[in-house]
Amino acid sequence: MKKSLLVLSVVALLAAGCSSSQQANVTPTPTPSPATNPTPTPTPTPPADETANWKVFTSTKYGFEIKYPSDWSAPILNDSAKPVNLSFKPKGSSYFDIQMLSDSSFISQGSLEKNTSVFTQKNKGPWDQQIDINNGKAFYYINTSSKAGPSPSAYLVGPTGVWLITLTDINLKDTFLQMVSSFSFLSSTSSSQDWKTYANSGLGFQLTLTDAWKGYKVEMQTMSSNFGSGTLLFKVPTKDKKYEDGSGWATLMKISVYNPDYWKILQQGDGPKPQLLGKDKYGFAFAADFWQDPPTDLQNVNFDFNKVTASFKLTK
């Protein structure tokens, strides 16, 4: 009887050992993790336009527009001054001034690329910022030589010329930069056309030149608002160093824009009169004058003035 119990005990222990060995060799089935959905990336909210409620000053005469704070007084355009300037009056004693540069170094070449090249050759900076603006480029700096103290300033270069902006209050620097960024040269098509097509978006006309005009340049002369908007001097290179001011350039044509009243006075006067090219919707007369005594090296060159003036077209 004792032997039977012993055998059963051994068998039971072996069975238990086998069972434990089998359990130790069984790999447990992993419990699946609950599925997680990726967190969507929030769409960034664009910053609010702080100039959205600002006023806008537009000058079709000079081909630009600019925003200014709504609590500033209305700007005053003084086109009888030299240079032409636009003055704003912020709160307090500071002032904001925009001037058209009429110096021959900053001439209107009819395209942004040409004007930028002329400007950067003359002005090396240094610039605190260079800002892309509509149809132009701004060169921003702090003028530390101003009598009013450090003044935010910027040159604005566009297809129709160069403007200088100054503000006599360093505390309004951020406002100044917002105004600079809002400055827009009105649309000009000249940059996409070949050199023979001269287009001036500021005055609103274009004309087509001939091969003989290759290498020409255009300078802007201001005139009193009692007379008109100004005169464009079309110049070509000359080897005659004794001609005019000896600069190597000869003025072969002038296009002046006269107000209606002064144009009537010109027509009533004696002597030769400029050739009328056209009148805009405001009655301003576009008229051309031509050289009478060409430089010696250009006397036999045919600039075909009749063909050039016949191509004149108002664009606004």
Q: What is the DSSP string of 239-256?
A: S-TTSTTSSSEEEEEEEE
pLDDT for 36:
58
Q: Which CATH superfamily is domain 55-185 in?
A: Mog1/PsbP, alpha/beta/alpha sandwich (3.40.1000.10)
**Tens digit of each residue's pLDDT (9 = 90 or more) over 179-198:** 999 999 886 444 434 678 88
Q: Exposed, middle or buried by CB within 10 Å (0-12, 13-18, 19+), for 167? A: buried
62 in Cβ contact with 99 (< 8 Å)? no
pLDDT for 147:
81
Q: Exposed, middle or buried by CB within 10 Å (0-12, 13-18, 19+), for 266? A: middle
pLDDT for 18:
43
DSSP summary character for residue 266: H
**Tens digit of each residue's pLDDT (9 = 90 or more) over 13-52:** 334 444 444 444 555 555 655 555 666 666 666 566 788 8
Four-point Cα dihedral 69, 102, 285, 197, nearest 10:
-100
pLDDT for 92:
67
In whole angstroms, give the CA distance from residue 51 to residue 65.
14
* SS3 category, 264: helix
Percentage above 70 pLDDT, the chain: 75
pLDDT for 3:
45
DSSP summary character for residue 201: T
Which stretches of the chain drop beneath a pLDDT of 50?
1-24, 102-108, 188-193
Assign 3-class secondary structure to 105-167: HHCCCCCHHHHHHHHHHHCCCCCCEEEEEECEEEEEEEECCCCCCCEEEEEEEECCEEEEEEE
In whole angstroms, give the CA distance from residue 290 to residue 251.
8
Tokens of 231: 């005169």
∠207-203-250 over CA atoms, to 5°? 60
Determine how β-strand 55-59 pairs with β-strand 64-68: antiparallel
Q: Where in the chain is the domain with CATH 3.40.1000.10?
A: 55-185
